[in-house]
């Protein structure tokens, strides 16, 4: 799944559950997770 489609779906599904977040917040999360995956190393 492409990132823009994922962001749109996550925002819509979140809103349906009463959880409101922005595309920017999700992009920050994606950035943090990428750093985390690459950084978790022995």
**Alpha-helical runs (H) found in the chain:** 3-16, 23-39
**Spatial contact of 34 and 18, defined as CB atoms under 8 Å apart:** no
**Alpha carbon distance 8, 23 (integer Å):** 8
Q: How far is the CB of 18 from other proteins (least distance, A)?
A: 20
Q: How far is the CB of 41 from other proteins (least distance, A)?
A: 6
For the window 2-41, what string marks contact with other proteins as x by the rule CB under 8 A? Answer: -x--xx---------------------xx--xx--x--xx
Q: What DSSP designation does 18 have? A: T
Query: Where does this chain bind other proteins (CB under 8 A)?
Result: 1, 3, 6-7, 29-30, 33-34, 37, 40-42
């Amino acid at each position: 799944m492409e990132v823009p489609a994922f962001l749109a779906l996550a925002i819509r599904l979140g809103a349906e559950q009463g959880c409101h977040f922005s595309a920017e917040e999700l992009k920050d999360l994606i950035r943090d997770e990428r750093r985390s995956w690459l950084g978790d190393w022995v």
